[in-house]
Structure 1
Amino acid sequence: MVRFREDSHRRVRQRKKELEKEDEERRKQSITKIKQQAFNAATNRARKRRELSVTPIAKRTRNAYGLTPIAKRFHNKIMENKGIVPVNTAKEHRGRVKMMKKTEQKVTIFLRLLLNDSDNNN
């Protein structure tokens, strides 16, 4: 009877060791898989960044336009047809106006300085 117990205990210990080895192998495989996924994600991010920097702006906007929902696209077209200026165009216009105002201010300041210099010289 004692001999049978010793054999069963030995088998149990061996099985435990086998299970621990299998668990360790699974852990290693999952870790390598996670590392590979992280590496792939990083390379994809870098590739997208490189491609975007090379892609012309018109193409990017075309892609963005293609990604917008259809209802929103139709809404924008309807607004454009009615003569309402789209938001992006309005922002661009505002930016141009600001730049024009800044250049006008610089020109007026420059002219004032010229006039003051000419008045002081006379």
Structure 2
Amino acid sequence: MEFLSVVVAAAAAFALGAGYYSALAKPWTEAAGVECNKDGKPKGGQSPAIFALAFVLQLIVVGMMRHVFTLSGVETLGAGLVGGAGIGLFFISPWIALNNMYGMRPMKLTLIDGGYATLACAVSGLVLSLF
């Protein structure tokens, strides 16, 4: 059941990312400096391999969240939500900020990507606590 919870939580985070980045596509591509075609889509398109790897990476993050939650006794919906949000906001987002700061990337990019990390981890934590 633990593996299923990780897969479902990663799928929820992945689906959230599709909606989140679709809604913020224009500001994200501008902040990230991604060149786009006239139709507004990234030049060269996006390979399905990128999405497959993104899902695998989310499985890794959510798998570790599951492990930490088990060791910490996180079992309720509220604890899963707060624990997940905390991981996104206080572990992942600062690391994104650090990388973007040294890469001299705009703060806007950090806020967009850190916002997604926080929301995705919160949703993942919520889903994990359902199992």
**TM-score of the two chains, using structure 2 as the length reference:** 0.24
**TM-score of the two chains, using structure 1 as the length reference:** 0.25
Which of structures 1 and 2 has the larger relative contact order (alpha carbons within 8 angstroms, sep 6+)?
2
The structure number with the bigger radius of gyration is 1
